[in-house]
Copies of this chain bind each other. A is one copy, B any other.
Amino acid sequence: MAVQTVHTTSASDESGTGTVDLGPAAALSCRECGERFALGPIFACESCFGPLEVAYDLPDDGPDALKKRIAEGPDNIWRYAPLLPVPADVAAHPSTNPGFTKLVRADNLARELGITGELHVKDDSGNPTHSFKDRVVAIAVEAARAFGFTTLSCSSTGNLAGAVGAAAARAGFRSCVFIPHDLEQGKVVMAAVYGGELVGIEGNYDDVNRFCSELIGDPLGEGWGFVNVNLRPYYGEGSKTLAYEICEQLGWRLPDQIVIPIASGSQLTKIDKGLRELVKLGLVEDRPYKIFGAQAEGCSPVSTAFKAGHDVVRPQKPNTIAKSLAIGNPADGPYVLDIARRTGGAVEDVNDEQVVDAIKLLARTEGIFAETAGGVTVGVTRKLIEDGRLDPALTTVVLNTGDGLKTLDAVSPTTGPTATIRPSLDAFRAAGLAS
C-alpha cells in the first residue's frame, strides 16, 4: 500500500515520536473506525483505510478568554491558531496570510431573491491568490514545515496550483506542481509565475492524480509534501476557518442557513466541523443550523444521491463550466449527505445557464464578480428559495469561493458592450442610453 509506504519512508523520524508541534492538534483519528495515530504525513487508516482527520486538545480557558485571544490576533486565519493544527507562533512564519475575507451584507441580492432576513455573501475572492485554496494551503505549509518536507506539491486544475506556487515562494519551499498539459493559458500562467517547477502531464486530471499517487510511493517523491494527498488531513482543516470567520463576523452567532459548494465535499464537512467546535467551546449559542450543498448539474453526484435518498455516491463523468467543482467521485460525498440530512438542509444543483445567470445576478446586485463556483451557490440559493426549502426570513450565508477573473470564459459569450458608437453626441443620443 502506498499509504503505509509514505508513513514509514517520509519524515519517519518525527511522525513516529509525537513530538511534532502543531499546537492543539493531538493526533490523527480515523473518521470511520476512530483509531488514533501520531501526527504525521499520513492520510488513511492503517486498519480500515478510512480517511484520517485531525483530533484536538482544544483550549479550555473559557469562551470569553478565547474570544479575546482571537480578537487580539492578526486579521487573517492565524487569529484562530488556538483551533488549528499549527504552532502557537505561526503568525511569525512567512505565509501568504489568507483569510478574514469580507462577509458582505447582500441586501440588494436579498431583495431580488425575495429574502426578507439577513443575507450575507462570504467572499473568498479576497484571498491572496483569489480563491479559498489559500486557506487550506497555508495550513498544509505549516504541516510540511513540521514534518521536514522541503518541496510542496499537488495535482491541480488551476486554483490549487496557483495557491501552492504562491505559498511556497513566500515560505521558502521548493514547489513542483502537476497539471493536465492542456489547461487554459491563464491558469498555466498563474501556476508558473511564482517560479516553482510546473509539470504538464499528457493526460486528464485523473491521470495527473494517478501519477502523483505513484510518485508519493517512490523514492523520487521523498521529502515531498503533497498538500492534497499526504498532507490532506491538515490541509482540509483550513476550511474550518470559513466557519470561524462567518460566526465572528456575525458577532459570534451561528447563521441559520449556509450554502456551500461541493467539489470533494471536504469544505462543507470542515465548515460543519468548525461550527460544531464553536458551539462546544461556547463561542456561539447552540441552536439549529441547516447546511445546504451546491453542485453543478453537469457534475452532481452528491445532489443525485441526496435526491434519491442514497447513502452512497455514484461517480459521474463531469461536464460543466464549473470546473473547480468538477470532481466526479467526491471523497467526502457520503459525509456531505450525512450533514445535509442531520441539519435539515439539502443538496441541490443548477445547470450551466443558471450558473451564468447567477454570476451576473451577484455582480449586478452586489458588485461581486464570482467564479463559476459562486454562480453555483447563488443559483442553488435561488432555487432553494423558490421551492421553499430555504427560509427567506432567516439569516443566510452564501459562499463565493473564487474569482470571476479566473473563469472569464463562463460569462464572456454573453457579456459585452451595450453599444458601440462613434465618438459623437449624436451617435450617443441615437443609442438611447442617456438618462
Residues of A within 8 A of B (CB): 75, 94, 96-97, 100, 102, 107-108, 126, 128-130, 150-151, 162, 165-170, 172, 174, 176, 179, 181, 185-186, 188-190, 192-195, 197-203, 207-208, 210-211, 214-215, 218, 220-224, 359-360, 363-369, 403-406, 408, 411-412, 415-425, 428-429, 431, 433-435
Q: Knowing A199-B418, A428-B220 are in contact, say whether A189-B150 is a contact too (CB < 8 A).
A: no
B418 touches A193 (CB 8 A): no
Q: Once the chains are docked, how many angstroms separate the CA of A126 from the CA of B419?
A: 31
Q: Say which residue of B129, B176, B189, B367 sits within 8 Å of A411 (CB atoms).
A: B189
Residues of B within 8 A of A415 (CB): 188-189, 192-193
Inter-chain pairs besides A188-B417, A202-B422, 19 sampled, C-beta below 8 Å: A94-B107, A94-B108, A102-B128, A108-B169, A130-B130, A166-B363, A166-B368, A167-B367, A170-B367, A181-B417, A181-B420, A193-B359, A193-B369, A194-B364, A197-B419, A200-B417, A211-B424, A215-B428, A220-B428
A423 touches B169 (CB 8 A): no
A340 → chain B closest CB, angstroms: 31
Q: Knowing A199-B433, A211-B424 are in contact, say whether A189-B408 is a contact too (CB < 8 A).
A: yes
Nearest neighbor of A204 in chain B, beta-carbon distance: B423
A369 touches B194 (CB 8 A): yes
B207 touches A423 (CB 8 A): yes
Q: Once the chains are docked, how many angstroms separate the CA of A8 from the CA of B354?
A: 47
A425 touches B220 (CB 8 A): yes
Q: Say which residue of B75, B181, B423 sits within 8 Å of A211 (CB atoms).
A: B423
Residues of B within 8 A of A435 (CB): 150-151, 174, 176, 222-224
A222 → chain B closest CB, angstroms: 7
Q: Knowing A189-B411, A360-B193 are in contact, say whether A129-B200 is a contact too (CB < 8 A).
A: no
Q: Say which residue of B96, B200, B201, B423 sits within 8 Å of A210 (CB atoms).
A: B423
A41 → chain B closest CB, angstroms: 15
A408 touches B369 (CB 8 A): no
Q: Once the chains are docked, how many angstroms separate the CA of A413 from the CA of B283?
A: 51
Nearest neighbor of A412 in chain B, beta-carbon distance: B189
Residues of B within 8 A of A433 (CB): 176, 197, 199
Residues of B within 8 A of A420 (CB): 181, 199-202
Nearest neighbor of A361 in chain B, beta-carbon distance: B195
B220 touches A170 (CB 8 A): no
Q: Once the chains are docked, how many angstroms separate the CA of A405 from the CA of B75?
A: 24
Q: Knowing A369-B190, A428-B215 are in contact, say whether A417-B199 is a contact too (CB < 8 A).
A: yes
